[in-house]
A and B are shown apart, each in its own frame.
Chain A
Amino acid sequence: MHGLRQHAQTSRFVSRSTLRTLRGVSACQGRRYAGTTPTEAQEKPPPAGGELPSIATSKLLRVTRETALKSPGLMWTSEPESASPDGGRETRKMNMYQAVRDALGIALSTDESAVVFGEDVAFGGVFRCTMGLAQEYGKERVFNTPLTEQASTNGIAGFGIGLAAMGQTAIAEIQFSDYIFPAFDQLVNEAAKIRYRSGGQFNVGGLTVRTPCMSVGHGGLYHSQSPEGFFLGASGLKVVVPRSPIQAKGLLLASIRDPNPVIFMEPKILYRSSVEQVPISDYTLPLSKMETLVRGSDLTLLTWGTPLYTCEMAMSMLSSPPPSLQGEDFVPRDARKANIELIDLRTILPWDMEGVIESVNRTGRLVIVHEAGRTGGVGAEIAAEVQKRCFLKLAAPVKRVCGWDTPVGLQYEKFYIPDALRILDAMVETLKY
C-alpha cells in the first residue's frame, strides 16, 4: 500500500515491532511558552445573555476516560494492555498541542524513517506542538529549516516531497496556514500529481504537512485564514481538520500513515482551549469519514474545526433562546423544538459524501458553516453535490454561513467570522422556509 515507502522501510530501517519497544513518549513538559502568539487561543467569556457553552465547557469534548475510549471509529494500533473489556487503555488529560505532540512522538518512535521539521520546530514550535521532540529523538530527526516555505512550504514542501519520494516519512510544519501559499506549487503541482504522472511508480504518501489554521479573533489578514478550500481542486492530496485533542492525535497518526500526502490543518484557537482525556496508546481515527456529534431529524448543521463550538452554542440558543431573543421575530416557538443534527466533516478532501447525503436526506435541510469566504469555498462544493443528490428531499435551499469575500480585517473580525447569532439566524431562516 505504501509502495516505495514500505520497500524502504524493510530494506533500510529496523522493523516496526523493534521500534515499538523504543517508544515511551513522555508527557509534554518542559519550558512553558510565556507569551501568547497573536493567533493563539485567548478565550473570551461567553457572550452576555445566557449560560452558553464555550469551548472550555463544550459537551463535544470527551473529558472522561470512559467517553474517550468510546470515540467512534477509534482503531488501536497496539495490543491491548490488559484483558479487561476496554483493553486496560489509559488516558491522560491533554490539550490539542499536547495531543499533536503525543502523536508526533508516536510517529517518531514507531517509524525510524520519520522526521519532523519546519521553522522553529527544534525549540518546540511557536505553538508548542514539537516540545522536547528534538531532545528525545535527536536533531537529525527533529530540526529547524531555514525560513523557506517554498521548501517546506515550497522549500519545506519540496524537501518533504524529496524525503517522501524515497519512501520515508516526512512530517513538515508550516508555521501558519496563511504561509502555505509559497508551497502551493510544490503541493498542488508536485505532491498531488507525482503518483499520476509516474504511472503509479512514485508517490509521496509519506508526506504530511501540519499547519495551524483559522481565526482567533485578533489575527488580521495573515494569521486568520482557512485555506482548505484552495486545495479542493488538487485531488491526490488529502485535507484534514481536527476539532479536539482526541481527534487531532488519531487523525494525525492516520494522516501520517495514509498512503497519500495529507495537509493537516490544526485550528490554532483549539491548541490550548480544547482539553480532553486522550488515550495514550497508539490509535488512529478514519480519514474521509465525518462524525455525527449530535443526532437530529430536522436540520443538518455541517462544519469542521473551530466553528463546531460556535454551532454548539447556536444550537443551545435555538432550543432555549436567551431572554433578549425570545420574541417570535427572533426565535419562533416552533423552531425551538427543532432537532438539529451536528456533523463534523473532519476530512475536507476527499469528503464523506455518503455520510452527508444520508443525513440531509433524513433532515431535508442543510446549513454549512465555515470561516473561509463564501465564494469558491468548501461549502459551494458540498452544496452542489447535495442539491444534485437530495433535490427532491430538500425542504429549503442549502444555506452557507461563511466569512465574507474580503480579507480578514483585524478590527472587523467579530463581524467577519461566523458567530453563534449568525448561525442561529441561518437555522431559523432555513427551518421557517
Chain B
Amino acid sequence: MPNSASPVTTELHFFDAVSDKVIPAYRVLDGNGQIGEAFARKIYEKMSLLPALDNVLYNVQRQGKISFYMTTHGEEAAVIGSAAGLDDTDEVMGQYREMGVLLWRGFSLNAIMGQCLGNEEDSGTKGRQMPVHFGSPAHHFHTISSPLATQIPQAAGVGYALKRDPARRGKNCTMVYFGEGAASEGDFHAGMLLASVLGSPTVFFCRNNGFAISTPAAEQYAGDGIASRGPGYGVKTVRVDGNDALAVLAAVREARRYAIAESKPVLIEATTYRVGHHSTSDDSFAYRPRSEVENWKKTDNPLWRMRRFLEGRGWWDEAAEQEMKDRYKNEVLAAFRRGETLKRHPLGELFTDVYGGEMPWHLKEQRDELSALLKKYSNVWEPWKKELAKFQGNGKEML
C-alpha cells in the first residue's frame, strides 16, 4: 500500500473509533466485485483519457503555449473511481487535480482546452484563472481556487444547503477532494468538525499521494495518515487502496449512500502515489529518486490494474487499447489546435463580475481610465496593439 503500512482487507468496514491496530485498507479489484461491462469499460476509458490529455497539455506548457499545468499521473483510479461512485448531480468541490471528475461527467475536450488556454470558450473563469482551475455549474463542479483547503469547510456548507433544499434533500451529497498536504490546513479540521456537528451530507475524499510538492507525507503528519483523524470528529471513516478503481468506486458509493441517508459526513482516505511532478513548475527529481517513480509505475499502476481486470473478463484486448489510444491522441490534439486559434474573452471582462448588480463608481472610473489610455496609445504603441489583438474584437468595446 502506498504511503501506509496498512494491511489490506476485502471487507468494507467504516469505523468511528481507532483501535491500536493500523487501519486496514479496503480493496476489491482482486475479488469478484459485481460490475457491468459497459460501466467497467467506461471507467478504464476515462482513466486513460487523463494521461492522453496530460501528455499533450504538459508538453504544450513546456512549449510556452499555456502558462501552467498539473497532471493526474498515478491518481487516475482515485479520481475516476470516485467520480464513478457519485451521482453526476452531486456537488463537487475540487482541489485542482480532479479534472477526471469533469471528464467522467462529460465535460468536453474543447472546454478543457478553453480553460487551459484561457480562450473565449473558458466560461469557467473567463480567462481569469490559471490552467486547471475548472468550474462548471452544469456539471455541479465548483470553480477551483488556488488557496489550499478553503473548499473543505465550504463543502460542509454546500452539504448543509443540500439538506435544506427540498428538491435535493435525500438525493445528493457533496464530494470534497483534497490532498494529504491540504489536510494539514486548519480549514480541514474546521470542515470536518462542522459537517459532523451540524450534520452535513458531505464525503471528504483525501487523495493521499505521498507528496505535497516536495514535502513527503512522512513530514506532513506523525499519526496514522488522514484516516485516523475521522473518529476524533465523530466521522465515519474508511481507508481505501486508491490505485484500485473498483475499491474506490465501492467505498464512495457506500459513503454517499450513508451520507445522504443519515445526513452525516464520511471521510475516505485513498492511498495513491503522485507519479508526475507536482506541476509544470516543479522538478520532483530534486527531492525523490527517479527510480522510485519508475518503480511505482511498474509495481502499482492503476491503469494497468484496471486493464488487467477488464482483460480477465474478456472485455478488453490489445486491439481495443490501440484503437482507444489512437483515437484519444487525435481528438486531444485536434481540440488543442482548435482552441489555440480562438481569441480571449473581450478585454472589458477585466472589470466585470467583481460585483453583482451595478458596477460601482470606482470600477467604472478605472475602466474609463484604461479606455482613455487605450484610445490615446493603442494605435501608436506596438506592445499594446499586439496585446489587444489577442482579445475578441481586438478590445473594440474599450475603445
Type the 1/0 row for B160-185, where 1 means its CB is closer than 8 Å to any CB of A: 00000000000000000000011011
Q: Shortest CB–CB separation between residue A189 and chain B, in angstroms?
A: 15
Task: Tell whether, in the assembled complex, residue A411 and residue B377 are in contact, meaning their CB atoms are under 8 Å apart.
Answer: no
Q: How many residues of A contact B (CB 8 A)?
A: 57
Q: Which of B19-27, B38-46, B141-149, B198-206 contacts A (4 or more CB under 8 A)?
A: B141-149
Task: Tell whether, in the assembled complex, residue B286 and residue A124 are in contact, meaning their CB atoms are under 8 Å apart.
Answer: yes
B11 adjacent to chain A (CB < 8 Å) = no
Residue among A120, A154, A181 with most chain B CB within 10 A: A120
Task: Tell whether, in the assembled complex, residue B281 and residue A411 are in contact, meaning their CB atoms are under 8 Å apart.
Answer: no
Query: Which residues A136-185 have CB closer than 8 A to chain B?
Result: 144, 146-150, 154-155, 178-179, 181-182
Task: Tell whether, in the assembled complex, residue A119 and residue B128 are in contact, meaning their CB atoms are under 8 Å apart.
Answer: no
Q: In the bound complex, what is the Cα–Cα distance between A409 and B128 (angstroms)?
A: 4
Task: Tell whether, in the assembled complex, residue A223 and residue B130 are in contact, meaning their CB atoms are under 8 Å apart.
Answer: yes
B315 adjacent to chain A (CB < 8 Å) = no
Task: Tell whether, in the assembled complex, residue B215 and residue A149 are in contact, meaning their CB atoms are under 8 Å apart.
Answer: no
Task: Tell whether, in the assembled complex, residue A33 and residue B283 are in contact, meaning their CB atoms are under 8 Å apart.
Answer: yes
Which residues of chain A are within 8 angstroms of B229 by Cβ–Cβ distance?
none
Which residues of chain A are within 8 angstroms of B367 by Cβ–Cβ distance?
404
B323 adjacent to chain A (CB < 8 Å) = no
Type the 1/0 row for A31-67, where 1 means its CB is closer than 8 Å to any CB of B: 1011111101000000111000000000000000000
Given A218-B67, A221-B146, A410-B67, A425-B373 contact (CB < 8 Å): yes
User: A35 contacts which of B133, B281, B349, B350 (Cβ < 8 Å)?
Assistant: B281
User: A374 contacts which of B184, B212, B366 (Cβ < 8 Å)?
Assistant: B366
Q: Shortest CB–CB separation between residue B292 and chain A, in angstroms?
A: 15
Task: Tell whether, in the assembled complex, residue A147 and residue B184 are in contact, meaning their CB atoms are under 8 Å apart.
Answer: yes
Q: Which of B77-85, B236-244, B379-387 contacts A (4 or more CB under 8 A)?
A: B379-387
Task: Tell whether, in the assembled complex, residue A410 and residue B128 are in contact, meaning their CB atoms are under 8 Å apart.
Answer: yes
Which residues of chain A are within 8 angstroms of B362 by Cβ–Cβ distance?
374-375, 405
Residue of B nearest to A176 (CB): B146
Query: Which residues A284-333 have CB closer than 8 A to chain B?
Result: 324-325, 327, 329-330
Task: Tell whether, in the assembled complex, residue A222 and residue B145 are in contact, meaning their CB atoms are under 8 Å apart.
Answer: yes
Given A35-B281, A123-B286, A411-B127 contact (CB < 8 Å): yes
Task: Tell whether, in the assembled complex, residue A405 and residue B281 are in contact, meaning their CB atoms are under 8 Å apart.
Answer: no
Q: In the bound complex, what is the Cα–Cα distance between A40 and B282 (angstroms)?
A: 12
Query: Which residues A8-38 have CB closer than 8 A to chain B?
Result: 31, 33-38
Which residues of chain A are within 8 angstroms of B148 by Cβ–Cβ distance?
147, 179
Task: Tell whether, in the assembled complex, residue A412 and residue B363 are in contact, meaning their CB atoms are under 8 Å apart.
Answer: no
Residue of B nearest to A128 (CB): B286
Which residues of chain A are within 8 angstroms of B370 by Cβ–Cβ distance?
404, 415
Which residues of chain B are within 8 angstroms of A47 by Cβ–Cβ distance?
382-383
B7 adjacent to chain A (CB < 8 Å) = no
User: A144 contacts which of B182, B219, B380 (Cβ < 8 Å)?
Assistant: B219
Which residues of chain B are within 8 angstroms of A123 by Cβ–Cβ distance?
214, 286-287
A220 adjacent to chain B (CB < 8 Å) = yes
Type the 1/0 row for A123-136, where 1 means its CB is closer than 8 Å to any CB of B: 11010000000000
Type the 1/0 row for B208-226, where 1 means its CB is closer than 8 Å to any CB of A: 0000111100011100000
Q: In the bound complex, what is the Cα–Cα distance between A421 and B186 (angstroms)?
A: 43
Which residues of chain B are within 8 angstroms of A89 by Cβ–Cβ distance?
none
Task: Tell whether, in the assembled complex, residue A406 and residue B287 are in contact, meaning their CB atoms are under 8 Å apart.
Answer: no
Task: Tell whether, in the assembled complex, residue B281 and residue A404 are in contact, meaning their CB atoms are under 8 Å apart.
Answer: no
Task: Tell whether, in the assembled complex, residue A146 and residue B281 are in contact, meaning their CB atoms are under 8 Å apart.
Answer: no
Which residues of chain A are within 8 angstroms of B9 by Cβ–Cβ distance?
none
Q: In the bound complex, what is the Cα–Cα distance between A324 and B381 (angstroms)?
A: 7
Which residues of chain A are within 8 angstroms of B382 by Cβ–Cβ distance?
47-49, 324
A219 adjacent to chain B (CB < 8 Å) = yes
Residue of B nearest to A217 (CB): B67
Residue of A nearest to B370 (CB): A415
A122 adjacent to chain B (CB < 8 Å) = yes
Which residues of chain B are within 8 angstroms of A389 by Cβ–Cβ distance?
none
Task: Tell whether, in the assembled complex, residue B381 and residue A422 are in contact, meaning their CB atoms are under 8 Å apart.
Answer: no
Task: Tell whether, in the assembled complex, residue B215 and residue A415 are in contact, meaning their CB atoms are under 8 Å apart.
Answer: no
Task: Tell whether, in the assembled complex, residue B185 and residue A219 are in contact, meaning their CB atoms are under 8 Å apart.
Answer: no
Q: In the bound complex, what is the Cα–Cα distance between A181 and B125 (angstroms)?
A: 22
User: B213 contacts which of A40, A126, A327, A406 (Cβ < 8 Å)?
Assistant: A126
Given A38-B67, A120-B213, A221-B129, A411-B146 contact (CB < 8 Å): no
Closest 10 CB pairs of A and B: A411-B127, A222-B146, A146-B184, A37-B281, A409-B128, A34-B283, A150-B186, A47-B383, A412-B350, A147-B181
Q: A150-B185, A411-B118 are in contact. List 18 more A-B contacts (CB 8 A).
A: A33-B286, A34-B286, A35-B279, A49-B381, A120-B213, A120-B215, A147-B182, A147-B184, A178-B146, A220-B130, A221-B130, A324-B380, A325-B381, A375-B362, A404-B366, A406-B351, A411-B345, A415-B370
Enumerate 7 A-B pairs (CB-CB under 8 Å) in ascending A order.
A38-B68, A146-B220, A148-B184, A324-B382, A409-B350, A410-B130, A421-B373
**Interface residue ranges, A against B (CB under 8 Å):** 31, 33-38, 40, 47-49, 119-120, 122-124, 126, 144, 146-150, 154-155, 178-179, 181-182, 218-223, 324-325, 327, 329-330, 374-375, 404-407, 409-412, 414-416, 419, 421-422, 425
